[in-house]
Amino acid sequence: PSSSSFNNFDILSNIRKIDVTSLKRGQSSKFDTIYIDGLRISHYIHINEATNAEDLEKSIRFFKENYLHKVNYKLLKENFPAWLEGIGLSELDHKFGAYKWQEIIEMGWQDLRDIGINNSNMRKVLIRNFTLVKLDQARKRGIHVNSPRAQLTELEDAVPIDLDLLKKRFPEWIESIGCGIYIPNLEGKTWQEAIEMKWSNLEALGIKARGLRSRLARYLYRAKQAVYSEKGIILPGNEAKRAQTVNNTSESKSLETN
C-alpha cells in the first residue's frame, strides 16, 4: 500500500507524541488523532496503559496487512488466539473456545456480553473487526462494498434472492449467503420447509449462535417473500428485519456512543 494509506501521517512519530505508558484505563481518547484510511485506530485496536509506542506501531502495521487491506483468513481460521492478539485482545481467547470462527464473527453486543466480555470498549473493538471480515465476505459473494463503514444488511438486502439456486441446489444457496456452516443442521429439509422457518425453529435445529441465526432467518424470510411474490402475494417486510433487529439494536446504539 502507498504512504497515502496513512492519510499523510508518519504513524510512529505521531504515536511517540503520546506518552502511552502514562495512560490510565479509559483514556485511550488520546489516540483519537491517529487514523488509517479514515478509521480511528483506537476503534479497531484495544489500547491500554501497558502499550508502548513501538508495539503500537507494529500493531497498526499488522492491522493494515491482516485485517483492513486484506483479511487473513488463515490466521482467523487456524490461529484465532493470534487473530485476537493482533487487535490487542489476546486475554479474551478463552471466551471463544466453544465457537467456530463463522459463529464468532456474527456475534453482536449481547452475544459478547453473554460469554462474559463485560468491557464495553473491548466489545466495540471486536464488533468493528468482525464487521471488516463480514464486509470482505460480502465482497467475495459479489456484493459491492465501498466503505469499511458500510451497512452490511442494507447492501445484502439490495441483492435479489437467487430463486433458481434456492430451488435447484438448496445447500449451495445456504453456502452462498454465508451460512454454510449450518448446512448439516438443515439436512433433510426442503427449501419449501426452510423458508417457512422462524427464529425458534432454527434454534430447535441446533443453530444456537444468535448472529448467524439472525442472518439465516432474515435470508429465509426474504426468500419466502420472493417465492410468494411470484404467486402475486405480497408479504409484509417487517418480519424480514425482525431477526436482525433482535441482535443489532443495542449493538448499534453502543457503537454510536464512541
Among 128, 109, 133, CA closest to 120:
109
Kindly report, as residue ranges, where domains of CATH 1.10.150.50 are found in the chain: 154-253
> Would you give the distance in Å from CA 249 to the centre of its chain?
15
Among 243, 251, 201, 249, CA closest to 222:
243
Q: Side chain identity at 163, as an amino acid letter?
A: L
DSSP state of 39: E
Which CATH superfamily hosts domain 154-253? Answer: Transcription Factor, Ets-1 (1.10.150.50)
pLDDT at 155: 85
pLDDT at 37 over 90: no
pLDDT (tens digit, 9 = 90+) per residue, 43-84? 999 987 666 777 778 888 899 999 999 999 999 999 999 999
pLDDT at 16 over 50: no
pLDDT at 245: 46
pLDDT at 142 over 90: no
pLDDT at 165 over 90: yes
Q: How confident is the model at residue 39 (pLDDT cuts 50, 70, 90)?
A: confident
pLDDT at 133: 95
pLDDT at 230: 94
